[in-house]
Amino acid sequence: MAMTPSQTLQLLIDGKELPEAEMVQIMRAIMGGELPGPMVAALLVALRSKKETPTEIAAAATVMRDFATAVNVKDKTHLVDVVG
């Protein structure tokens, strides 16, 4: 059974690692705009406070890539990478 955002937040506050499936679920809710701002803030602060794990980071990155918008450019002559 999937956890609610409040249950996920409590797990993070307790210093527990989120299983990959739970991190994917909560990141999909965040990226999909399904959660109110204060809950998103609380989840992100709790995640950072407990020190995010490589598994959590990888799951979050996968979801963010799923939500990314592809940009197709024919002439790449003058493109500049501003992200890194």
| Domain extents in the chain | 34-67
Q: Return d(Cα 61, Cα 73) in angstroms, integer.
A: 24
pLDDT digits over 2-60, tens only?
899 999 999 999 999 999 999 999 999 999 999 999 999 999 999 999 999 999 999 99
Report the phi/psi class of residue 57: left, alpha or beta, with left for phi > 0 and alpha for psi in -120 to 50: alpha
pLDDT at 12: 97
Quote the pTM value: 0.84
